[in-house]
Amino acid sequence: MSRKSVALIFLVLSLAAGCTKGEKPVRISQAPDFTLQDLSGRSVRLSDLRGKVVLIEFWATWCPPCRASVPVIERLHKTFAGQGLVVLGISIDEQWDAVRSFAREKGISYAVLKGNDEVSAQYMVRLVPTMFLVGKDGMIARQYVGGEEEDALAKDVRSML
């Protein structure tokens, strides 16, 4: 690899590292399909949700910003579920029992899925929380890294419904 290539890679990584909060530019692309199990052991397949707006959040119980986002995501779910929004919380926790307890304790009513390295890699998740807003056509419309303000998320969801 040439010195110029290494410098370019370093520059790109440095710029990306600065994007730790807020909407991150994302090129419009098809959301990678996945099938993951929810807290009840049922399989949830993203492609089965085509025709709905889907908010996918990669999170973990040990992550303070993730814990803070739970009430925000819950309110969005309750406000917009009847209009076609589906929320999928993909936990990257290794201890699934801790996720079950946390979801029960916090009263999470949206789908909580057991994530894996493959799905995290498909979505290029580097830190949590990371959210993706997927349109009715299955295309990723927006990506949020490091949490997001409730009003901004609600505005984006409303515009896509």
**Would you say residue 11 lies in a domain?**
no
Which residue segment(s) compose the domain that 37 sits in? 21-160
**Would you say residue 131 lies in a domain?**
yes
Rounded to an integer, the average pLDDT of 122-143 is 95
* Strand, helix or coil for residue 149: coil
% of the chain residues with pLDDT over 90: 76
**Would you say residue 7 lies in a domain?**
no
Rounded to an integer, the average pLDDT of 148-157 is 87
In 3D space, the residue among 130, 83, 86, 138 whose CA is nearest the CA of residue 112 turns out to be 86
- If one counts the domains in the chain, the total is 1
**Would you say residue 142 lies in a domain?**
yes
- Angle at which helix 64-80 crosses helix 96-106, to 10 degrees, equals 50
**Would you say residue 35 lies in a domain?**
yes
| Catalytic residue from among 46, 49, 53, 66 | 66
* Strand, helix or coil for residue 2: coil
Q: What is the CATH number of the domain that holds 44?
A: 3.40.30.10
Distance of alpha carbon 50 from alpha carbon 152, whole angstroms: 23
**Would you say residue 15 lies in a domain?**
no
**Would you say residue 10 lies in a domain?**
no
**Would you say residue 111 lies in a domain?**
yes
| Catalytic residue from among 26, 39, 63, 81 | 63
Rounded to an integer, the average pLDDT of 127-141 is 95
pTM of the model: 0.82
Residue 19 among the catalytic residues: no
* Strand, helix or coil for residue 115: coil
Residue pLDDT, tens place only, 85-124: 999 999 999 999 999 999 999 999 999 999 999 999 999 9
* Burial readout 103-139 (b: 16 or more C-beta within 10 A, e: otherwise): beeeebebbbbbbeeebbeebebeebbbbbbbbeebe
More confident residue, 28 or 13: 28
